[in-house]
Each structure stands twice: as C-alpha cells, then as structure tokens.
Amino acid sequence: MKKPFLFVLLLLFCLNALSACQSRQDSSDNASEKALTEELAKILKEAKKVAGQVSPFNPDVQEKAQKEFEKLFVFEYSVKRFPADIEDHRLEHELNSVGKQRWECFDVERDKDQLVFYCKRRPKTYLRYLPKLM
C-alpha cells in the first residue's frame, strides 16, 4: 500500500515543481530556471522508477490474479463427526461454530454410534465481491 501512496506523493511534488517552473518563466534568472528544470527531470525519473515497480504487468501480479480466479471454481471439503447421543443444544452450538468458519453442511449420515456431517466451502477470494460492486 505504500508504493501507490509514494507514487501519488511524488506525482504531486512533480506537479508542484512544474507549476513553480511556469510561474518563474518570466524571471530572468536562468540559473534558477535551470536548477528547477534539473530538479523536475530528477523527480520525473524517480516517479517513472516507482511507477514501474507498481505496474500491473508485473508477472507476480498476474500469477496472483490467476490463483484468485481459480479459487472461484473450487470447493474445500470437511467431514465433522459427533457422537450420536449428543444433546440438541450442544449439537447446535457445534454446528454454529462450524458455520462461523464458513462451512456449509450438505449431508448427514449415521455411522454406528456417530453422526457424520459432510461440509463444503469456497476458498476466500476478493473476486467474489466484484459483481456486487458493478
């Protein structure tokens, strides 16, 4: 998050320096003008360097975006086992704690003296919220 902030800060400083150059255009002091021009060129060079670091065409960014996209079509599965003689309020409490972890139980079976819950969930990804923003 600091790189975009630094880029914006450098850009604002660059624009400020540019406006200072224009206001001093009427001045006859060539040395001051030359110093400002050199300073502006130096700032622009630094801004380009920072902009290159936050470029969206960075291969690392593309790889991360690919992984986030793949998460849209994947499920994680979990099997939860509870004793068959568990009290109702205790089972509700356990299932609520499973639900808080984003697990959705889709099937239940009795296996001897146990209740077996089959649960699934999608991995966390921020891409799920994009349609809501549009």
**Residue 92 belongs to a domain:** yes
Picking from 75, 65, 70, 78, the residue whose alpha carbon sits closest to that of residue 107 is 78
**Residue 15 belongs to a domain:** no
Q: What domain range includes position 108?
A: 75-127
pTM: 0.50
**Residue 84 belongs to a domain:** yes
**Residue 106 belongs to a domain:** yes
**Residue 80 belongs to a domain:** yes
Q: Look at residue 100 in the predicted model and tell me its pLDDT.
A: 95
**Residue 100 belongs to a domain:** yes
**Residue 68 belongs to a domain:** no
Task: For the chain, 134 residues long, give each residue's pLDDT as a single digit of tens.
Answer: 556 666 666 776 766 666 666 555 555 567 778 888 888 888 888 887 777 776 556 677 778 888 888 888 889 999 999 999 999 999 999 999 999 999 999 999 999 999 999 999 998 887 777 766 55
**Residue 102 belongs to a domain:** yes
Residue with tokens 């009290």, as numbered in its chain: 87
Rounded to whole angstroms, what are the CA distances from 129 to 22, 37, 61, 88, 107? Answer: 45, 46, 19, 35, 27
Q: Look at residue 40 in the predicted model and tell me its pLDDT.
A: 85
β-pair partners for 107: 118
Q: How many domains does the chain have?
A: 1
